[in-house]
């Protein structure tokens, strides 16, 4: 492995991660601007995966998006953009078909195809198979004006390390799977994010599969596995009494509006916590009512037939999941009676949600210049710029991991288009200021 010197050119902005958030940023930076510098801004994105993918392990047949197609990468920012979902449909020759289908919520597979289509426009800016391992401050006359992004890349010849100098940085690494403390993953114990990849390795006719979790992914996993294996017992284990429906009513959905970000940022900390608690049922540990109805229908019909395969073990928790031969020995405890039921399962699927990636670990050396709150969360201003200490003239922007300061839409697609536009405008303003500083330095100084 070699550590190469920084590239001769300094780019305007470097993105860590290339999922929907930084993909939306790429579209925003590609749009003409009346307020930015006269030249196009130069951007590069580093992505750990070897190709574009968004929740590939949960692209289940029949699974639909939970947001309108109008909340794509661009429409809320600029309905005229060539990168809209409607432009994608027109390019694919399906616009009339989609209209006739009378859909607001496309399938997850189709929306993923849309994201891949947009990503194709920016192939030259993205370096896949690249993991950022450090970000180093670059000072000039005691002011940090640039950053060196240290990247470990996987190539056909092996690993190498490259360093990209940048003025601004945008961290958009998305969410990472959340598992109960002490969980040990294996071929028989895994997170639902790997569902489609792992299910192919199961026996053709598993005897029992345990799904842990009460949210949308858990319900989708239970429904999928119940259909995929028609003779397998599916045990859904969660602490709620039953699946809870998501609230997608019009007034509740205002919490995802761009204007709600202004309100949330302006609110006192206790008001922010109150709003988040009030509206958790729009997104967390809740399930689409239609899917709840379908699962209940299956449970009831199996009772009628006298062969229950879909077992909803509510008000329960998984106490143990230990490898045992070619399966897993699990223990389920009732929260009502305390009774513990042992059973053998072919696998355990943890559909226990996601958590934001800790940006501080990615920022490495720069992290010490970034302000964090008492819980260690990075602090950002209204434009998603990390608040820094000292004379730091370059900028770090966050796409995600700002739910505590910017509201519930921080890690969701609902506000992606508008957020990316705001960050793009801020990056353009940074370029203007950097150009003005460079011009000032290049001018002859008066003689004394």
Residue 427 CB: number of other CB atoms within 10 A? 25
Task: Kindly state whether residues 344 and 383 are assigned to the same domain.
Answer: no
Task: Give the chain's mean pLDDT.
Answer: 93
Task: Kindly state whether residues 185 and 159 are assigned to the same domain.
Answer: no
Task: Kindly state whether residues 131 and 229 are assigned to the same domain.
Answer: no
Residue 338 tokens, joined: 């305390």
Domain that holds residue 373: 11-174+357-436
Please state the domain count of the chain: 2
CB 26 within 8 A of CB 424: no
Q: Does residue 327 lie in a domain region?
A: yes
Task: Kindly state whether residues 193 and 332 are assigned to the same domain.
Answer: yes
Q: Identify the band that residue 440 occupies on the pLDDT scale cut at 50, 70 and 90.
A: low
Task: Kindly state whether residues 218 and 325 are assigned to the same domain.
Answer: yes
Examine the fold and report which residue of 354, 372, 388 is the final residue of a domain before the chain moves on: 354
Which residues have a Cβ under 8 Å from the Cβ of 227 and sit 6 or more positions away? none
Q: How far is CA 219 from CA 78, 228, 266, 288, 385, in A?
A: 35, 14, 36, 9, 36
Q: Does residue 274 lie in a domain region?
A: no
Query: pLDDT tens digits, residue range 139-196?
Result: 988 899 999 999 999 887 778 999 999 999 999 998 999 999 999 999 999 999 999 9
Task: Kindly state whether residues 316 and 391 are assigned to the same domain.
Answer: no
Residue 410 CB: number of other CB atoms within 10 A? 22
Task: Kindly state whether residues 155 and 201 are assigned to the same domain.
Answer: no
Q: Does residue 425 lie in a domain region?
A: yes
Residue with more model confidence, 32 or 36? 32
Q: Does residue 441 lie in a domain region?
A: no
Question: Does the structure show a pLDDT above 80 at 95?
Answer: yes
Task: Kindly state whether residues 209 and 291 are assigned to the same domain.
Answer: yes
Residue in the block written with tokens 């969980």? 183
Mean pLDDT of all residues in 246-274? 94
Q: Is 296 exposed, middle or buried (0-12, 13-18, 19+ CB in 10 A)?
A: middle
Q: Kindly report the CATH number assigned to the domain that includes residue 336.
A: 3.50.50.60
Examine the fold and report which residue of 354, 378, 396 is the final residue of a domain before the chain moves on: 354
Query: pLDDT tens digits, residue range 356-389?
Result: 888 898 999 999 999 999 999 999 999 999 999 9
Q: How far apart are the first and last CA of the chain?
A: 51
Task: Kindly state whether residues 89 and 17 are assigned to the same domain.
Answer: yes
pLDDT at 438: 72
Q: Which region holds residue 364: left if phi is over 0, alpha if psi is between -120 and 50, else beta?
A: left
Which residues have a Cβ under 8 Å from the Cβ of 77 and sit 6 or more positions away? 28, 417, 418, 420, 421
Q: Does residue 273 lie in a domain region?
A: no
Q: Does residue 416 lie in a domain region?
A: yes
Which residues have a Cβ under 8 Å from the Cβ of 279 and sit 6 or more positions away? 247, 252, 255, 408
Question: Does the structure show a pLDDT above 90 at 8?
Answer: no
Q: Does residue 340 lie in a domain region?
A: yes
Task: Kindly state whether residues 316 and 378 are assigned to the same domain.
Answer: no
pLDDT at 442: 61
Q: Does residue 147 lie in a domain region?
A: yes
Query: What gap in Å lies between CA 212 and CA 334, rounded to an integer?
Result: 14
Helix, strand, or coil (residue 157): coil
Chain centroid, CA 107 distance in Å: 18
Task: Kindly state whether residues 200 and 96 are assigned to the same domain.
Answer: no
Residue in the block written with tokens 């519930």? 408
Query: pLDDT tens digits, residue range 181-236?
Result: 999 999 999 999 999 999 999 999 999 999 999 999 999 999 999 999 999 999 99
Mean pLDDT of all residues in 11-23? 97
Which residues have a Cβ under 8 Å from the Cβ of 236 and sit 6 or more positions away? 211, 218, 219, 222, 310, 311, 312, 313
Examine the fold and report which residue of 310, 327, 354 is the final residue of a domain before the chain moves on: 354
Task: Kindly state whether residues 315 and 366 are assigned to the same domain.
Answer: no
């Amino acid at each position: 492995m070699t550590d190469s010197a920084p590239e001769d050119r300094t780019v305007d902005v470097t993105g860590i991660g290339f999922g929907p958030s930084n993909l939306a940023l790429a579209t925003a930076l590609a749009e003409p601007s009346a307020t930015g510098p006269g030249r196009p801004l130069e951007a590069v994105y580093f992505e750990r995966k070897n190709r574009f993918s968004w929740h590939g392990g949960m692209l289940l047949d029949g699974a639909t998006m939970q947001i309108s197609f109008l909340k794509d990468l661009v429409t809320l920012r600029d309905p005229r953009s060539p990168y809209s979902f409607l432009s994608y449909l027109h390019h694919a020759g399906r616009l009339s078909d989609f209209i006739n289908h009378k859909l607001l919520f496309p399938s997850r597979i189709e929306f993923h195809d849309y994201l891949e289509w947009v990503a194709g426009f920016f192939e030259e800016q993205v370096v896949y198979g690249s993991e950022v391992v450090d970000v180093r401050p670059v000072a000039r006359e005691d002011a940090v004006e640039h950053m060196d992004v240290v990247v470990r890349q996987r190539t056909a010849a092996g690993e190498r390390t490259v360093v990209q100098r940048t003025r601004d940085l945008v961290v958009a690494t998305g969410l990472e799977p959340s598992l109960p403390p002490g969980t040990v993953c294996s071929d028989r114990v895994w997170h639902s994010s790997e569902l489609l990849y792992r299910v192919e390795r199961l026996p053709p006719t598993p005897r029992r599969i345990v799904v842990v979790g009460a949210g949308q992914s858990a319900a989708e996993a239970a429904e999928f596995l119940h259909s995929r294996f028609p003779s397998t017992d599916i045990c859904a284990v969660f602490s709620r009494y039953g699946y809870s429906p998501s609230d997608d009513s019009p007034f509740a959905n205002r919490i995802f509006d761009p204007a709600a970000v202004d309100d949330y940022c302006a609110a006192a900390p206790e008001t922010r916590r109150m709003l988040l608690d009030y509206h958790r049922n729009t997104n967390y540990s809740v399930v689409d009512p239609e899917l709840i109805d379908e699962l209940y229908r299956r449970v009831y019909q199996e009772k009628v037939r006298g062969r229950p395969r879909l077992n909803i073990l509510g008000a329960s928790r998984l106490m143990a999941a230990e490898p045992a031969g070619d399966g897993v020995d699990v223990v389920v405890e009732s929260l009502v009676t305390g009774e513990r039921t042992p059973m053998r399962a072919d696998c355990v699927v943890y559909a226990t949600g996601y958590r934001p990636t800790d940006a501080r670990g990615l920022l490495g050396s720069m992290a010490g210049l970034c302000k964090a709150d008492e819980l260690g969360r990075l602090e950002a201003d209204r434009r998603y710029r990390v608040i820094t200490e000292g004379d730091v003239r370059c900028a770090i922007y966050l796409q995600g991991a700002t739910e505590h300061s910017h509201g519930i839409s921080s890690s969701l697609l609902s506000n992606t288009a508008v957020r990316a536009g705001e960050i793009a405008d801020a990056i353009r303003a940074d370029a203007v200021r950097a150009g003005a500083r460079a011009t000032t330095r290049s001018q002859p100084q008066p003689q004394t």
